[in-house]
Amino acid sequence: MRPTIHSCEHFSGNISNTDLPDGQFEFKIPFPKKKRLNSQEYNCVHLFKSEDGLNLNLSYFIGLDWIVEDQQAIYVAPKLNGNDRRTDYVKMLLKVLENSDTAIHVDELYNIKFHSSNIEIEQENDLLTPLLIVHFLGLVKKIVRNGLKKSYYRVSKTLNGRIKGKLEVGRTIRQGILKNKPLKNQCSYDEYGLDHFENRLIKKALTFARGYINNHTGLSTKMSVLEMFDYIFPAFENVSDAAEATEFRTIKSSVFYKEYENATRLAKYILQRFGYNITAVSGSDKIPTPPFWIDMSKLFELYVLSYLKQTYRNEILYGTETQGNYGMPDYLLIKKDHELILDAKYKPRYNESSYRIEDIRQLSGYARDKQVLACLRLSEQQVVDCLIIYPEYLSDPSENAAIELDLENKSAISEFVNFYKISIKLPVQ
């Protein structure tokens, strides 16, 4: 196997010195969860040959994948700030999970390819496990807050001098009569309570998560994650962690317990991630990891949304609520006399005043879309303000606590009427 190619998001350049298999290359890895715009593909990786040699174009995705299965892999890390510190995507995710309006979209952030062969990477480069654990704990925290679900589940017990449910004849003979214990009857019957398979599966994944957190002191969000764990785990005191993979098919979804469907799916991901082996959470220098991708532009979009919801609550529209005739702005502010069309652009270049004209054109189109104006409750004659929100990297992790988004601090884009921009700090590690 050839050495893994290491790069960071949004890299574009020549990699002719890379040792790759012979052959013609025009290779793409699309991100399946990204909605297409005008049939445009969103590729995590684009590898191609030109007159200059072999070229690599990366978009705003981080992750790990095969270029040639079992031969050549690529690892894409988060972007660096000016002080060689990486974007702390886990802290961004924790902020997103604080608000239920943003937390429901986290599934759209990442894609894991469990059907592909694992790729061995350095433990310090593990981007997937922290993401899975934080997302999982966020879902389970909401379940605990609402109360654990009770359900019927099958139990098998030894009863003294009585029979309940179904008598297990074979086990009764072996463990009772043949051992000169004629009053001991092995019975199976249904009970109603907390110790059903879904809760047991979640608790088993929690034990794996706790082992990982305790054994990885470098986890930047360790204190925050431990606080979540300490809130969650006592609720599962009367639940066992006996959960076998063969029982997964017994899980049934319910419209009344939607969080359970997502939490049990994440629990299975975590168990798969560690190969159902609790000793694997202790960590080693190198770990096998399934190919995966994380959409950083979508994470930034939800990160911004969490701050907007924190201030404006229901006055911020998002997703299908902003649908126009020919496009969908990221957000709309419908506050009276303060209407705004807002778009999150995961492009630090705005801090250097080198914004892209296509972004201005895009928002201008939204500002003239009759359906968007109807969402804003404005007439077709009114000129609506447009705001671009872009990232700015913190220079040091100690500044993370000071992150805020105050739209009153927006600055005008002087070349255009009613156009503004504002930055939001990104946490670093």
Q: Among residues 54, 77, 100, which one ends one of the domains?
A: 77
- Report which of residues 403 and 152 the model is more confident about: 152
pLDDT at 20: 60
- 370 CB burial (10 A radius; 0-12, 13-18, 19+): exposed
pLDDT at 355: 65
Residue 36 scores a pLDDT above 60: no
Residue 17 scores a pLDDT above 80: no
- Are 318 and 408 found together in one domain? yes
Q: Are 391 and 300 in contact (CB under 8 A)?
A: yes
Neighbours of 106 (CB within 10 A): 21
Domain assignment present for 276:
no
| The pair of three-digit structure tokens given for residue 229, joined into one six-digit string | 């764990």
- Are 419 and 305 found together in one domain? yes
Domain assignment present for 117:
no
Q: Are 7 and 76 in contact (CB under 8 A)?
A: yes
| The pair of three-digit structure tokens given for residue 186, joined into one six-digit string | 């092995």
What band does 83 get if pLDDT is binned at 50, 70 and 90? low
Residue 124 scores a pLDDT above 70: yes
pLDDT digits (tens, 9 = 90+) for 348-402: 777 666 667 888 999 999 999 999 999 998 888 788 999 999 998 877 767 666 6
pLDDT at 358: 86
The mean pLDDT of the chain is 85
What band does 202 get if pLDDT is binned at 50, 70 and 90? very high
**What average pLDDT score do residues 19-44 get?**
67
**What average pLDDT score do residues 179-202 get?**
90
pLDDT at 39: 43
pLDDT at 25: 67
Q: Please give the DSSP secondary-structure letter assigned to residue 36.
A: P
Rounded CA-CA distance 189/322 in Å is 52
Least confident of 3-17, 48-62, 194-208, 391-405: 391-405
- Give percent of the chain with pLDDT exceeding 70: 86
- Are 319 and 421 found together in one domain? yes
Phi then psi for residue 146, to 5 deg, are -85, -15
Domain assignment present for 243:
no
Domain assignment present for 33:
yes
Domain assignment present for 384:
yes
Number of domains in the chain: 3
| The pair of three-digit structure tokens given for residue 100, joined into one six-digit string | 């239920």
Domain assignment present for 5:
yes
pLDDT at 82: 64
Residue 60 scores a pLDDT above 70: yes
- Are 164 and 50 found together in one domain? no
- Are 302 and 398 found together in one domain? yes
Domain assignment present for 136:
no
What band does 15 get if pLDDT is binned at 50, 70 and 90? confident
pLDDT at 35: 54
Name which of 258, 298, 308, 291 is nearest 93 in CA terms. 298
Residue 408 scores a pLDDT above 50: yes
pLDDT digits (tens, 9 = 90+) for 277-335: 766 666 567 888 999 999 999 999 999 999 999 999 999 999 888 988 888 999 999 98
**What average pLDDT score do residues 185-192 get?**
91
In the chain, the largest separation of any two C-alpha atoms, in whole Å, equals: 94
Residue 68 CB partners (closer than 8 Å, separation 6+): 20, 21
pLDDT at 167: 86
**What average pLDDT score do residues 253-274 get?**
84
- Are 414 and 322 found together in one domain? yes
Residue 232 scores a pLDDT above 90: yes
Can you give the C-alpha Rg of the chain in angstroms? 26
**What average pLDDT score do residues 155-166 get?**
88
CATH number of the domain at 422, please.
3.40.1350
- Report which of residues 157 and 343 the model is more confident about: 343
- Give percent of the chain with pLDDT exceeding 90: 40
What band does 95 get if pLDDT is binned at 50, 70 and 90? very high
Name which of 393, 379, 405 is nearest 429 in CA terms. 393
pLDDT digits (tens, 9 = 90+) for 247-263: 666 666 666 777 898 99
Residue 33 scores a pLDDT above 70: no
Domain assignment present for 18:
yes
- Are 71 and 186 found together in one domain? no
Least confident of 15-19, 63-67, 386-390, 418-422: 15-19
Domain ranges, residue 319: 296-426
